[in-house]
């Protein structure tokens, strides 16, 4: 038992400490002045006719970024002149607003100094077909109003929910998307967000996921440890994944 606890502690802290040591988190950032400009990753909607679905991830704000990422969904129907952004933002609740935000905006904004990365990019007829399903799932999200940082429902519980409702997306949520395994208080079994396997989860605190895209993930207290097979990677808290292939 002692060896298990020591091993678990090392695997839990090595990622967050690496993020801290390499400057992956800006503890001096002020949310009022932090960079929220475009990272120039998304095509200009004024010159791009085709329908688009993009999912973004970025290191969470302040100390949260040592352990987790923030993820959101952007869509642009065919011939639309702007993107619609679907995301859950916790501090909206401080102002009496629902945590879920659905609004036209830049899809690729920095997340308070953290540069985003695209984790899903779908275009053309397939995107056009799925956009109405994304919108329907988002508006039916059962936790649109409340927000709980840990273990959920939080900003990552939302895109994971949409992905389960629209498995054709094939969305593999990042392993460091803390909250993605929150299924609610009455659900223990569900399809994996990618739609390529299944998961068991107890309130997002304990569980296991096995899927072709995600690999094998073990959830302990909301943090993910595991192995992904294609491409091969080790999954650990904080860093999310450590790729062992080039």
Q: How far is CA 212 from CA 199, 209, 227, in A?
A: 12, 10, 11
- Residue 106 contacts residue 83 (beta carbons within 8 Å): yes
- Residue 234 contacts residue 219 (beta carbons within 8 Å): no
Query: What pLDDT score was predicted for residue 232?
Result: 95
- Residue 151 contacts residue 179 (beta carbons within 8 Å): yes
Indicate the domain borders of the chain: 2-243
Distance in angstroms (rounded) separating the CA atoms of residues 72 and 141: 14
Q: Which of 207, 211, 180 is nearest to 194 (CA)?
A: 211
Q: How many CB atoms lie within 10 A of CB 78?
A: 14
* Whether residue 8 has pLDDT greater than 60: yes
Per residue in 42-72, pLDDT (tens digit) is 999 999 999 999 999 999 999 999 999 999 9
- Identify the band that residue 144 occupies on the pLDDT scale cut at 50, 70 and 90: very high
**Across 100-109, average pLDDT:** 98
Per residue in 194-245, pLDDT (tens digit) is 999 999 999 999 999 999 999 999 999 999 999 999 899 999 999 999 987 6
Phi, psi for residue 98 in degrees, rounded to 5: -65, 150
| pTM, two decimal places | 0.96
Q: How many CA atoms lie within 13 A of 25 on its CB side?
A: 20
Structural tokens at position 219: 């959830």
- Residue 21 contacts residue 62 (beta carbons within 8 Å): no
Structural tokens at position 169: 């997306």
Query: What pLDDT score was predicted for residue 29?
Result: 87
- Residue 218 contacts residue 208 (beta carbons within 8 Å): yes
- Residue 231 contacts residue 172 (beta carbons within 8 Å): no
Q: Under DSSP, is residue 28 helix (H, G, I), strand (E, B) or coil?
A: coil
Query: What pLDDT score was predicted for residue 246?
Result: 54
Structural tokens at position 58: 């970025």
Q: How many CB atoms lie within 10 A of CB 136?
A: 12
Q: At what angle do helices 125-139 and 157-165 cross, to 10 degrees?
A: 120
Distance in angstroms (rounded) separating the CA atoms of residues 106 and 216: 34
Q: Which of 147, 138, 142 is nearest to 102 (CA)?
A: 138
């Amino acid at each position: 038992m002692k060896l298990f606890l020591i091993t678990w502690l090392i695997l839990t802290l090595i990622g967050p400490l690496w993020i801290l040591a390499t400057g992956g988190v800006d503890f001096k950032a002020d949310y009022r002045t932090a960079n929220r400009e475009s990272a120039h990753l998304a095509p200009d909607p004024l010159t791009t006719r085709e329908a688009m679905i993009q999912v973004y991830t970025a290191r969470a704000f302040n100390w949260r970024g040592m352990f987790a990422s923030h993820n959101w969904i952007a869509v642009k129907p065919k011939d639309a002149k702007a993107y619609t952004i679907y995301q859950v933002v916790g501090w909206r609740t401080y102002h009496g607003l629902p945590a879920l935000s659905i609004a036209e905006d830049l899809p690729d904004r920095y997340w308070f100094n953290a540069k985003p990365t695209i984790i899903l990019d779908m275009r053309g007829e397939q995107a056009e077909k799925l956009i109405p399903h994304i919108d329907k799932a988002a508006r039916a999200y059962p936790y649109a109003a409340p927000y709980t940082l840990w273990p959920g429902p939080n900003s990552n519980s939302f895109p994971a929910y949409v992905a389960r409702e629209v498995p054709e997306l094939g969305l593999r949520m990042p392993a460091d998307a803390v909250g993605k395994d929150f299924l609610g208080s009455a659900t223990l079994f569900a399809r994996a967000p990618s739609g390529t396997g299944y998961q068991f989860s107890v309130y997002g605190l304990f569980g296991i996921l096995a899927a072709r895209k995600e690999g094998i993930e073990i959830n302990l207290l909301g943090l993910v440890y595991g192995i992904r097979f294609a491409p091969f990677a080790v999954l650990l808290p904080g860093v999310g994944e450590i790729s062992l292939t080039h």
